[in-house]
Amino acid sequence: MIRHILFWNYTDEVKEKHQEKETLIKLKESVETLKDIEGLLCVEMEENLSSGYDLVFYSEFENQEALKDFQNHPLHEAHKKRCKDLVCKRLCGDIERK
């Protein structure tokens, strides 16, 4: 199993307009559209409780191939388009659980 973990910050525009709560709702709704992707075992987006980044995207995949397929899946591409003006400064980590 592969754990795919991303950390994001809200864009300056989201922060300047104080739209973090509304944006988190939009992001979580968008993440829900990913749940039917084959090989994706779980996925969620939540507010980060630690400092440094605003959000955590957490997902688990059956294997490396499933993660690779996810990256270019049409549902993931649509999700990225919906999110591109809402988040920035991504930090990514992938770990394998044996």
Of the candidate CATH numbers 3.30.70.100, 3.40.50.150, 3.30.230.10, 3.40.50.880, the domain formed by 2-96 belongs to 3.30.70.100
- What is the per-residue pLDDT across 8-66, written as a single tens digit (0 to 9) for each? 999 999 999 999 999 999 999 999 999 999 999 999 999 999 989 999 999 999 999 99
User: CA–CA separation, 63 vs 71, rounded Å?
Assistant: 13
Instruction: Specify whether the backbone of 60 is left (phi greater than 0), alpha (psi in -120 to 50) or beta.
Output: beta
Closest to 46 in 3D by CA, of 56, 35, 36: 56
98: confidence class by pLDDT, cuts 50, 70, 90: confident
